[in-house]
Structure 1
Amino acid sequence: MRPRPPVQGRGIFSGTGLIITCLAATLAALVFPIWSYADRVDTGVNVLNAETVSTQYGPLSALDREFVTKVRLAGLWELPAGRQAETKGTTEAVRTAGRHLVEGHAFLDERVRQVASQLGLSLPNEPNDQQQGWLSVLTSAQGRQFDWEFANILRLAHGRVFSVVAQVRASTRNSLVRALADDANTTVLDHIKVLEATGYVDFDALARDMAADVTPPLGRSPAPPGPTTDPGPVVPLTVSPNPTYPLPPAAASPPPAG
């Protein structure tokens, strides 16, 4: 008796079926990551394009609008903080840092109001709750305690905003926002330097606070509205820019608080 010939595989287990199955699996593997990536809500492209509107100065993103708002907010509390340092600071280094804050934010506030007017954006006219809390701490502090609170609160705030300015400067497609970021970068860096020159900055505590910073990054909170036909009145800060003050000599800075 002759042996029966082997039965040929059929269906997906046949040679042709296996080839088709492998090709389908490969195609699925290529397509799925694309679908998956498109569904992510926190990608850089999504943040960049979120609620973007067109203007004659280039696209204006939610990130751009939030930055403009934050520049205005910074002046609303840092300028009065600088005034306090001018009068309450116990060393020339602290008083000099206060003058830098007054000068810098008087300039930036004029710039941000001009930019907001050109873009048709509304701006806040008073500090937010956290900023008002910082001002309350400074108002209550006296003597060297004021010097220490002033240097460390303002240095931490400027460190946080420094990376924000860089993010906006690197990504914005709007020429007005780009120029404002340039001015903000120069001003913030100057303020960081004069605050450090007071000798009161606790760099160990600063590093811990920056590492544990839980402040949501720019672009995660609801964006301010886009340009409107009536941006509403904006109350100017009535401070004229002062002459530029040089950094105090190192010998004028007191030793770090023990």
Structure 2
Amino acid sequence: MRSINGRGLFSGTGLIITGLAVTLVALVFPIWSYADRSGTGVDTLNATTVSTRFGPLSALDREFVTKVRLAGLWELPAGRQAAERGTTKAVRTAGEHLVEGHAFLDERVRDVAAQLGLELPNQPSEQQRAWLATLSSAHGRQYDTQFANILRGAHGKVFGLVAQVRANTRNSLVRDLADDANTTVLDHITVLEATGLVDFDALARDAASASAPPLTVSPAPPGPEDSPSPPVPATPSPAPSYSLPPAATGPPQEDDRREGGPKGADGPKGASSRS
């Protein structure tokens, strides 16, 4: 009897039972091994993500929305300035593209931020103000060259961020905004390069020597209360054509939502009804 049972393990029925057991173990093991994801990237992502009716909103999503607003705060004045002061038609055309593109994106980002309940900055960053000051102090051919290279360098850096957000966001509003930003940034890169003044060797050297830390994804975008520096003009010139985009209002209050939006909201044409 023992010999029969011993051979039974290797019989057809025994092999089938053994195969089923191995399959069951293979199916159960991944579930067990991935059950504890503490300390992983997924764990960090979930900890900094908030739920919205448009899909999960990650820290990188919020950072991206803020950066779209910041781009418009300095590139709109720079575009207006180039459209007036450029010494060549190509430079003036590039300035016009910047104005059109960022006027559109600024209205879009204000609308997205209002729907997601995010606050937006109303002043350019310190670096962006420095770029504007550099352009304002330049004249003639020097101005054209500075404009083309400063703006081309800035657009090249943001291009990768737009692609990263577009590829990974789970929020439909952020995804649509990234599509618009991608189209706009690529158009601006194209017209800036069409000036014939972009120093591609310098761009390559800057990229090779860049040692900046990775993008910091904050849990929330900086709002007016997070901007300790007092408001400063975008350029030394008080000319109205160099003014900043309209200030971004905060998320609508509950009473405002019931009444159809904040009263007296300041914003681009057509944006007040959605802010």
Deviations 1:62-96 (A, max 9, x none): 00000000000000000100011001101000000
In structure 2, do the counterparts of structure 1 residues 46 and 200 end up closer, same or farther at CA, with 3 Å as the change threshold? farther
Contact 1:138 1:149 in 2 (8 A): yes
Deviations 1:5-53 (A, max 9, x none): xxxxxxxxxxxxxxxxxxxxxxxxxxxx98xx8546xx4x356434100
* Corresponding residue number in structure 2 for 1:224: 220
TM-score normalised by length of structure 2: 0.67
Contact 2:94 2:188 in 1 (8 A): yes
* Corresponding residue number in structure 1 for 2:80: 83
* Corresponding residue number in structure 1 for 2:4: none
> Which residue among 93, 100, 103 is the counterpart of 2:97?
100
**What is the aligned-residue RMSD (CA, Å)?**
2.7
Tell me if 1:56 matches 2:87: no
Q: How many percent of aligned residue pairs carry the same amino acid?
A: 70
Amino acid corresponding to residue 231 of structure 1 in structure 2: P
> Which residue among 137, 142, 148 is the counterpart of 2:139?
142
Tell me if 1:173 matches 2:170: yes
Structure 2: distance between partners of 1:99 and 1:217: 32
In structure 2, do the counterparts of structure 1 residues 214 and 162 end up closer, same or farther at CA, with 3 Å as the change threshold? same
Structure 2: distance between partners of 1:102 and 1:225: 24
Pairwise CA distance, 1:224 = 1.9
Structure 2: distance between partners of 1:39 and 1:206: 37
Amino acid corresponding to residue 68 of structure 2 in structure 1: V
In structure 2, do the counterparts of structure 1 residues 216 and 236 end up closer, same or farther at CA, with 3 Å as the change threshold? farther
How many residues of Structure 1 are paired with residues of Structure 2 in the alignment?
201
In structure 2, do the counterparts of structure 1 residues 119 and 221 end up closer, same or farther at CA, with 3 Å as the change threshold? closer
Amino acid corresponding to residue 62 of structure 1 in structure 2: A
Structure 2: distance between partners of 1:77 and 1:237: 16
SS at 2:176 equivalent: helix
Tell me if 1:111 matches 2:131: no
Pairwise CA distance, 1:179 = 0.1
Structure 2: distance between partners of 1:225 and 1:48: 16
Contact 1:168 1:181 in 2 (8 A): yes
* Corresponding residue number in structure 1 for 2:71: 74
In structure 2, do the counterparts of structure 1 residues 225 and 149 end up closer, same or farther at CA, with 3 Å as the change threshold? closer
In structure 2, do the counterparts of structure 1 residues 177 and 226 end up closer, same or farther at CA, with 3 Å as the change threshold? farther
> Which residue among 116, 120, 123 is the counterpart of 2:120?
123
In structure 2, do the counterparts of structure 1 residues 195 and 174 end up closer, same or farther at CA, with 3 Å as the change threshold? same
Contact 1:48 1:63 in 2 (8 A): no
In structure 2, do the counterparts of structure 1 residues 110 and 215 end up closer, same or farther at CA, with 3 Å as the change threshold? farther
* Corresponding residue number in structure 1 for 2:148: 151
* Corresponding residue number in structure 2 for 1:205: 202
Runs of 5+ unmatched residues, structure 1: 1-32, 241-258
In structure 2, do the counterparts of structure 1 residues 55 and 132 end up closer, same or farther at CA, with 3 Å as the change threshold? same
Contact 1:121 1:226 in 2 (8 A): no
SS at 1:163 equivalent: helix
